[in-house]
Amino acid sequence: MSVLSRIIKTNITLNTRDLGGLKTLDGFYTKKKVFIRSDNLAYNEDSFYSLYDLVKKESLKTVIDLRVKKELEGMISASSVYKGIDYHHLSLVNYMPLGYGIPTGHNYQNLGDWYIEIIENSKDEIKLIIDTIANSKKGALLFNCTMGKDRTSILSCILLMIANVSKRSIALDHIISNENVASAYAPYLHELKEDQLIFTNVKYNDMIRLVDHINNSYGNITNFLISCGVEKRSVLKIKRKFVNKEKKQ
């Protein structure tokens, strides 16, 4: 499936796309309308109409919001927007303060090192998120953070590794976000400190670094998730949801 065919256009998001249609290393493909990655769904009145569109067109049933509580301040109640959808606020990063997805006072040489730090310091959060995904109802599940490029990419990476998608394909999906969110960052670039500018642009090797860390440190994604407290059967449930084993495209 081409990149353009995976991108989902809505009137409130910039960085929404389906993780379906990616080839696995054993020759199968990820299923469409199972996992959708996105940026902030912006809990305002317009959100309801865009979500209705997603419910109708993409069979959306579940939303997992990876943002910290502070990022939800000033937005209308999620329960009044997500009518008929299972909504879960499950922050991925709780060990450090984030301002709209960007940490302050940290001097990272690359985002890959930050991603590794996140997964190693967020194992309880990852267990809760993965268990929620494994037990989610049939239909599409959307997960998001603020820009849909860091925390969302980490969860995308985990799901695509479960499906046995190549690290090259995972990294290529990761960098699609740059073009999608450039317009959102542009008005604020002058306000960011020098050590924050690195967070406005993701790189191919950042995701390669994360995948290699998981494989080199744990052997495979299943072992990493077991180290988080996830049961192997939950990993298998997600793989069955996500991978089309009936036919090759």
* Pairing relationship of beta strands 86-89 and 140-144 according to DSSP bridges: unpaired
Reading the chain (249 residues) residue by residue, the pLDDT tens digits are 566 678 888 777 889 999 999 999 999 999 999 999 999 876 555 555 566 677 777 788 999 999 998 888 766 555 556 667 888 999 999 998 776 667 766 778 899 999 999 999 999 999 999 999 999 999 999 999 989 999 999 999 999 999 999 999 999 999 999 988 877 766 666 667 766 777 788 999 999 999 999 999 999 999 999 999 999 999 999 999 999 986 565
Stated as kind and residue range, the H or E segment containing 114 is helix 111-121
What pLDDT does 56 receive?
A: 74
Q: Which two tokens stand for residue 14?
A: 């910039």
Give ∠ CA 240-244-245 in degrees, rounded to 5: 80
Q: What is the DSSP string of 126-158?
A: HHHHHHHHHTPPSSEEEEE-SSSSSHHHHHHHH
